[in-house]
Structure 1
Amino acid sequence: MTERAETRLNLSKATVLLLQNNQTELDILGQVFIGFGVKAIRKCLTLSEAEECIRAGIVFDLLVVDCDMPAQAGFDFVMRLRRMEDSDNRLAPIMLVSGHTAPSSIAKARDCGANFVVAKPITPKVMFDRVMWLAREERQFVVTDTYSGPDRRHKTFGPPAGTKGRRHDDLSAKLGKPVGPDMSQSDIDALLNPKKASV
């Protein structure tokens, strides 16, 4: 997908749930998504409000959840939602926003079933880039006894297209000259279409 095509993403029909435990941050985040063209936004200041939206059967195209809620309530909310087999929101993309991006917090976000973590303070550009990344998400949804959510093997996908990686071991988008024999078609198919993890 080209950068020009990406900027034409139409979010006017998207339904977004925003769960933040700070009114100012909730208002700012709401304005950011209004700026993206989203018209259906449910702003929740408490966990009970967000859970009521889920129970009401509203189907969301994206959930943005605060990691910094007391007693890790944001992580627990995502984990419970991913286990709700009768909810249409179980497979919805979930983005966590956090003021604490220590490796332990990132690991909790990954292990609760979130798709992505964005560090506070957010900016419209970073948020839009992450929404675009989620729109192109191709990771399989995995269900096991201990985890439910997108495939956690995320690091190998590299940074979003058109952005510079932050890790020292991010692979370059530039291809070098071929080395060695070509792979067989069955080997290529196995790489591009891995089997879904068994339940």
Structure 2
Amino acid sequence: MARSIFETLTVLVVDDSIHMRRLISRLLEVIGVRHILLAADGEEAWSKFLTHKPDIVITDAAMKPMDGFVLTHKLRTLDESELCAVPIIMVSAHSQLSAVERARDLGVTDFLCKPISPRLLYERLLGVLNRPRDLLPHPSFASPERRLCDEPFEGPERRSGVAYI
């Protein structure tokens, strides 16, 4: 019998709300993820990340003492290229453009607004698995390529100024 790609994944879920950790964990189980690590904040996540080296990180943006933005920065500044390339899906109730841009600029792979739907979580997971992005080096960290296609786009509807995740 064919195995689902989700069965082989290890996913680290980081959220200060036990209810959100349970919800995301349960949704991942339904999708077929068998290896789920849970952390209540960025500090605990950092320790679990270094120990278990998960395939994907799903992190809340606003937590204390270390939030998802600081965790993302730490992950993207790792010296080991394989570890710093891990896909990061940031989850937040704060969907203002400034929060999304900050996440993007720190190297978040994708952004998911709360409340989370099973379908959107599934689509985001498929997206980071089926369309891996090359890491682009910056002076102080690495960031996933923002473009989702290889062909350049020209024309009147070409975005300029702001790039969205």
Same fold, TM exceeding 0.5?
yes
Shift of the alpha carbon at 1:153?
3.9
Q: Does 1:82 align with 2:67?
A: no
Match of 1:129?
Answer: 123
Shift of the alpha carbon at 1:72?
6.9
- Tell me if the contact between 1:97 and 1:120 (Cα under 8 Å) persists in the aligned partners: yes
- Root-mean-square deviation (CA), in Å? 2.5
> Which is higher, the Rg of structure 1 or of structure 2?
1
Q: Distance in 2 between matches of 1:68 and 1:32?
A: 21
Alignment of 1:108-119 (within 5 A): 108-119=102-113
Q: Distance in 2 between matches of 1:50 and 1:144?
A: 24
Q: 1:130 to 1:112 in 2, by over 3 A?
A: same
Shift of the alpha carbon at 1:135?
1.2
Runs of 4+ in 1 over 6 A off after TM superposition: none
Shift of the alpha carbon at 1:77?
0.6
Q: Distance in 2 between matches of 1:87 and 1:42?
A: 22
> Which of 71, 87, 94 in structure 2 is aligned with 1:93?
87
Shift of the alpha carbon at 1:64?
0.1
After TM superposition, the score normalised by the length of structure 1 is 0.69
After TM superposition, the score normalised by the length of structure 2 is 0.82
Alignment of 1:31-46 (within 5 A): 31-46=26-41
- Tell me if the contact between 1:59 and 1:88 (Cα under 8 Å) persists in the aligned partners: no
Unaligned runs of 5+ in 2: 152-156, 159-165
Q: Using CA pairs under 8 Å that are at least 6 residues apart, name the structure with larger relative contact order, 1 or 2.
A: 2
Counterpart secondary structure, 2:62? coil
Taking only the aligned residue pairs, the percentage that are identical comes to 24
Counterpart secondary structure, 1:85? coil
